[in-house]
């Protein structure tokens, strides 16, 4: 997976490659799908949701430009795979998931991996972290029509936010940096994420 799907494309950040090599992807998927856990495709995780393909996880992680001082907010915990990748690269991850079942399952998997720098919440992540604070980095792993205003407000100056943006089943992955309170956007690539269901996402 690392050789053909990540290094062979434009994933060059050694820290990202190292962490993705170390985290077993199969523990995040149902037993029946484990045989294909290292193919470069999305995988079902229950509740009609999927883990993104490894290349997209790696690309988003690399584009966040992380280090061990960063505090990251993630919207859409899902299986917790992306959460685990982030947790190994930063000081603290704050993650929100709409489905209580998925959040509980992800908490269990991360606990078993010995990852303890993650705060989990259940709710509508498009409305932001429930307590007032800012984050250095924000990552949405479900598609939105545009960057949700509460999340832009919780992004610190100089911070980076990444989201799949679009109305249809195919979106554009967009990275944006906050400069003097304004977002400077940079499109990364086309992508295919499940929709965010919530106030600044889509209807159920």
Catalytically active residues are 52
Which residue number, 101 or 157, has a Cβ lying nearer to ligand SAH? 101
Which residue number, 22 or 184, has a Cβ lying nearer to ligand SAH? 22
What whole-number distance in Å separates Cα of residue 56 and Cα of residue 158?
A: 23
Kind of pairing between the strands at 118-122 and 71-75:
unpaired
Surface-to-core class of residue 91, CB atoms within 10 Å of its CB (0-12 exposed, 13-18 middle, 19+ buried): middle
* SS3 label, residue 98: coil
Does 164 bind ligand SAH (CB under 6 A)? Our answer is: no
* SS3 label, residue 202: strand
Stretch that binds ligand SAH, among 12-20, 98-106, 130-138, 152-160 (CB under 6 A): 98-106
What whole-number distance in Å separates Cα of residue 68 and Cα of residue 78?
A: 23
Which residue number, 180 or 192, has a Cβ lying nearer to ligand SAH? 192
Stretch that binds ligand SAH, among 30-38, 77-85, 110-118, 163-171 (CB under 6 A): 77-85
| Backbone φ and ψ of 56, nearest 5° | -70, -40
Stretch that binds ligand SAH, among 61-69, 94-102, 153-161, 175-183 (CB under 6 A): 94-102
Among 19, 55, 66, 76, binds ligand SAH (CB under 6 A): 76
Which residue number, 77 or 159, has a Cβ lying nearer to ligand SAH? 77
How far apart, in Å, are the Cα atoms of 95 and each of 46, 82, 151, 187? 18, 10, 13, 24
Query: 101-160: which residues touch ligand SAH (CB under 6 A)?
Result: 102, 124-126, 141-142
> Can you read off the two tokens belonging to residue 56?
């997209």
CA angle, residues 20, 177, 50, in degrees to nearest 5: 40
> Can you read off the two tokens belonging to residue 54?
């490894």
Which residue number, 153 or 184, has a Cβ lying nearer to ligand SAH? 153
Query: 42-61: which residues touch ligand SAH (CB under 6 A)?
Result: 45, 49-52
* SS3 label, residue 195: strand
C-beta of 121: minimal distance to ligand SAH in Å? 9
Binding site for ligand SAH (CB under 6 A): 45, 49-52, 75-76, 78-79, 81-82, 96-99, 102, 124-126, 141-142, 194, 196-198, 201
């Amino acid at each position: 997976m690392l050789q053909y799907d990540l290094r062979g494309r434009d994933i060059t950040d050694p820290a990202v490659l190292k962490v993705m090599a170390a985290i077993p992807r199969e523990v995040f998927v149902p037993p029946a799908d484990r045989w294909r856990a290292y193919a470069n495709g999305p995988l079902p995780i229950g509740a009609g949701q999927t883990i993104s393909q490894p290349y997209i996880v790696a690309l988003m992680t690399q584009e966040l430009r992380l280090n061990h001082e960063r505090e990251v907010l993630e919207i859409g915990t899902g299986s917790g795979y992306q959460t685990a990748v982030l947790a190994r690269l930063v000081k603290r991850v704050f993650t929100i998931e709409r489905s209580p079942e998925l959040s509980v399952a992800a908490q269990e998997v991360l606990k078993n991996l010995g990852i303890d720098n993650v705060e989990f919440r259940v709710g509508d992540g498009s409305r932001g972290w429930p307590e007032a604070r800012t984050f250095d980095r924000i990552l949405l792993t479900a598609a939105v029509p545009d960057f949700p205003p509460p999340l832009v407000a919780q992004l610190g100056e100089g911070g980076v936010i990444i989201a799949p943006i679009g109305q249809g089943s195919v979106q554009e992955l967009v990275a944006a940096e906050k400069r003097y309170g304004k977002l400077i956007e940079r499109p990364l690539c086309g992508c295919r994420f499940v929709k965010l269901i919530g106030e600044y996402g889509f209807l159920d």
